[in-house]
Structure 1
């Protein structure tokens, strides 16, 4: 049994110009996780949170309550934007994210995602965007389940009833469609269900990957030309250099009707880019030891 965890970063609001500080994109990601490993992943993730953000949890007497206080990827991203590479605050967060990616590698977690870049003055159409993205993630998950000879289900981060409905119904209609073809996702047990991330370690990991890695990488490699705002800040180059290769290795690719389906794809109306990865990816930087930081992060204790 495998679980696909879905989370997002960004929004569908209109952005008026290249210097408007609204978010220039929406990123939706899915993590494919072996259900038998969820308990170990949860334990390791709780330990990682306590190691790097002890002030947040100093009054918690029960270790499992650590999961209730989420370390949001958008908060870490903001801290990294405000501090140059090598600054203790930024390096503190990087070491935490290194640990998150090590958990993903240890447990062979796979990644798919879609980046939707906005046009000036045009809001993203929620129903269409969420329908297309959810169906494409489910399609890749179906291929993955066949490869693994496994069954699966989808747990998406709870947002609001309207968006939840788009995601669930888009998968429901493909599973129960009539006529030629029948069930498009026969290895997926049911339409998507929704979880509160406070109690799902893998949803929190999905948020961190989506918000702290995918979003700023796309901000620099895809959006930095058409947009010049806080979301394309040059301090995010450190994220591009540190994580592009590791994130690329996490992708799940598949083929359909002889056509390659990449794990992470882009819809870019400006430069027509199809990938978030730089043309020449840097060598992977993956420390073998995660040491406690010498200085507390500005994010430690204020989330």
Structure 2
């Protein structure tokens, strides 16, 4: 790392030669402390440069990409069984790092309001992030519960989407409809989906003149390493400048302490999965995963999901990002996710 400075408010260049490969130009006022800890000041704000060659963000924005999934990567038999999953999807939420605190508190308040029994043993407010409301449970309640149970689950989802809109959260998702009786390359599907999410996130960061960081729900060490390496090879190959604004490879976390991952799980499992299964698999899959009642979710939430998307236009004019569906059976596009 190298830098230039002089007394007062001046342009400062930092070149980070490590994993981030960033070239930042910042204008800051600063106060020099001890040799191993420099403190920079801009107005009433402070920015710290750590000894381990950490980038100084200054006035740059930072966004976080939270990733989760729903379904499995197994093959769908020609005659699907009672629990064979016809859809696999990976979803992601883009959150402004400045909004993470408020988003977390709003989510905890929502959990406490709708599920007081779930958080009843948590005597401290912040401890209520630990017990999770699983998206699969909400899906069951919204689709197959009794009337009051359904209304309760739908009410929770309505308020959750309202929170996401209030905090300007954006949605990305890659949806895969499995072909009947044909090979489904689960590993390739997973890694290509993560790469697609990173590419879409990179475009978002460019549009916002921001930097980014990714936190994904942890699977297992082997699969985590495979996914991270698929991003690593694209980020650091000499012939490519991919993911320059994403600071690092995906980091994998357990969801208990991450509101972003918990919310992403709910959107993937309670909304995107049942809507996709009903929209694209009705007629050729007849099991518990394809519920006719999911059409009501599509009608109620389709427009809001469409609004939450982050979409961008490629140089040749093609639109990308948002929710993208691969449907080798019916050859239908993502529009079926949003309307009947």
The TM-score with structure 1 as length reference comes to 0.88
- Contact 1:130-1:163 within 8 A present in 2 as well: no
Closer, same or farther in 2 for the Cα pair 1:276/1:194, shift >3 Å?
A: farther
- Contact 1:27-1:113 within 8 A present in 2 as well: yes
Q: Distance in 1 between matches of 2:163 and 2:143?
A: 25
- The offset of 1:58, in angstroms, is 1.5
Partner of 2:74: 13
Partner of 1:101: 161
Q: Distance in 1 between matches of 2:281 and 2:175?
A: 11
- Contact 2:278-2:295 within 8 A present in 1 as well: yes
Partner of 2:118: 56
Q: Distance in 2 between matches of 1:253 and 1:50?
A: 33
Partner of 1:287: none
Partner of 2:30: none
Q: Distance in 2 between matches of 1:16 and 1:188?
A: 38
Q: Distance in 2 between matches of 1:185 and 1:208?
A: 27
- Contact 1:79-1:90 within 8 A present in 2 as well: yes
Partner of 2:214: 154
2:299 to 241, 248, 251: 241
Report how many aligned residue pairs link the two structures.
Answer: 277
Closer, same or farther in 2 for the Cα pair 1:106/1:254, shift >3 Å?
A: same
Partner of 1:272: 331
Query: Hey, which of these two has a bigger chunk of strand by percent?
Result: 2
| Counterparts of residues 170-209 of structure 1 (less than 5 Å) | 170-179=230-239, 182-209=240-267
- Contact 1:18-1:226 within 8 A present in 2 as well: no
Q: Distance in 2 between matches of 1:195 and 1:79?
A: 27
- The offset of 1:160, in angstroms, is 1.3
Partner of 1:263: 322
- Contact 1:73-1:210 within 8 A present in 2 as well: yes
Instruction: Confirm or deny that 1:46 pairs with 2:104.
Output: no
Higher relative contact order (CA 8 A, sep 6+): 1
Query: Hey, which of these two has a bigger chunk of helix by percent?
Result: 1
- Contact 1:83-1:235 within 8 A present in 2 as well: no
* 1:178-228: CA deviation from partner (whole Å, max 9, x where unpaired): 22xx22011100111111100000100000111111001101111113211
* 1:240-268: CA deviation from partner (whole Å, max 9, x where unpaired): 11111100111111122322114111111
Partner of 1:110: 170
Which secondary structure does the structure 2 equivalent of 1:4 belong to? strand
Q: Distance in 1 between matches of 2:129 and 2:222?
A: 27
Which secondary structure does the structure 2 equivalent of 1:38 belong to? helix
Which secondary structure does the structure 2 equivalent of 1:230 belong to? coil
Closer, same or farther in 2 for the Cα pair 1:278/1:141, shift >3 Å?
A: closer
Partner of 2:33: none
- Contact 1:217-1:276 within 8 A present in 2 as well: no
Which secondary structure does the structure 1 equivalent of 2:204 belong to? helix
Instruction: Confirm or deny that 1:67 pairs with 2:129.
Output: yes
- Contact 2:73-2:187 within 8 A present in 1 as well: no
Partner of 1:254: 312
Instruction: Confirm or deny that 1:212 pairs with 2:212.
Output: no
Closer, same or farther in 2 for the Cα pair 1:159/1:114, shift >3 Å?
A: same
The CA RMSD measured in Å over matched residues stands at 1.5
- The offset of 1:166, in angstroms, is 2.5
- The offset of 1:18, in angstroms, is 4.9
Closer, same or farther in 2 for the Cα pair 1:224/1:78, shift >3 Å?
A: same
Closer, same or farther in 2 for the Cα pair 1:138/1:16, shift >3 Å?
A: same
Could you list the structure 1 runs, at least 4 aligned residues long, displaced by more than 3 angstroms after superposition. none
Which secondary structure does the structure 2 equivalent of 1:124 belong to? coil
Which blocks of at least 5 consecutive residues in structure 2 are unaligned? Answer: 1-61
